[in-house]
Amino acid sequence: MFKAHRDLNMRLDLEVISSLVTPRARVLDLGCGDGSFLRHLRNDRGAEVLGLEIDPALVGRCIANNVPVVQWDFSTPLSFLEEKSFDLVILSQTLQETKEPDKLLQEIVRIGKLAAVSVINFAHFSCRFQLMFRGEMPRTPQIPYHWYDTPNIHLSTIDDFRKLCCELGFEIREEIPIPARFPRLSKLYPNFFAVGGVFLLKAK
């Protein structure tokens, strides 16, 4: 499972999110996997953490990792979490799997003083080339699935995501492109060269 956060070093977006966490911050990770990222945030960044995870097996591994976790299907309302009750709400490469990404975004911006969302860029040149020259659904290290077995039902591009954030009236505090190979070009033309992006969002 790619969300197991096992190779923290391999996930540049998680490094970026980690750098956004201040000591003693209350951090909520939606779709926290086995909790190893939250464990890192607590042990190395001094955060107070909570994870939500739908998969019972991964919940068990969070417990082993000593990370507080609530087994929850967050396509059901998160209304029990109070407004601004967390300093940072994290959604890392999870949005594309959710049924109503726009509603979920509104929820996390409500719950968190800030929200860090890591999105996969479907407009990365590798995806574009696979579609254009091979005529096949793109597969990349970020989206390694076949069209028939993918959990990703709402993939977007960086530009798409930015547009949605504007439509929903969020303030985009920061936008950090996640490069695979061309860091400078990724900064200049993220929607073509970056494999993903981390957005730091806030309710206006």
Partner 1 sequence: MNIRFETAGTLNADGSNAILIIHALTGDAHVCGKHSPEDKKPGWWDTMIGPGKGIDTNKYFVICSNVLGGCSGTTGPLSTDPDTGKPYNLTFPVITVADMVKAQKALIDHLGIKKLLAVVGGSMGGMQVLEWAVSYPDMMKCVIPIATTTRMSAQGIAFDWIGREAIQSDPQWHGGNYRENAANPARGLGVARMIAHITYLSDESMTRKFGRNLQNKESYSFDFAHDFAVESYLEYQGQKFVERFDANCYCYITRATDYFDLTAHANGNLVKALENVMADFLVVSFSSDWLFPPADSHELVRALLRNKKKVTYSNVISGYGHDAFLLEVDTLGSMIRDFLANQMQEVENV
Of the listed pieces 63-71, 113-121, 139-147, 156-164, which binds partner 1 according to CB under 8 A?
Answer: 63-71
Name the residue nearer to partner 1 (CB basis): 73 or 167. Answer: 73
Name the residue nearer to partner 1 (CB basis): 80 or 148. Answer: 80
Residue 110 engages partner 1 in binding (rule: CB under 8 A): no
The nearest distance, CB 77 to partner 1, in angstroms, is 11
DSSP 11-31: -HHHHHHHHTPPTT-EEEEET
* Nearest-angstrom CA–CA distance, 175 and 137: 27
Residue 59 engages partner 1 in binding (rule: CB under 8 A): yes
Q: What is residue 10's three-state secondary structure?
A: helix
| Ramachandran bin of 53, using left for φ above 0, alpha for ψ from -120 to 50, beta for the remaining angles | beta
Which residue from 12, 20, 81, 91 is in contact with partner 1, where contact means CB under 8 A? 81
Closest by Cα among 153, 162, 171, 168 to 190: 162
Per the structure block, which two tokens stand in for 67? 């990370």
Of the listed pieces 11-19, 62-70, 88-96, 188-196, which binds partner 1 according to CB under 8 A?
Answer: 62-70
Closest by Cα among 142, 138, 139, 122 to 190: 122
Name the residue nearer to partner 1 (CB basis): 68 or 183. Answer: 68
Rule CB under 8 A: which residues touch partner 1? 26, 50, 56, 59-60, 62-64, 66, 68-72, 80-82, 85
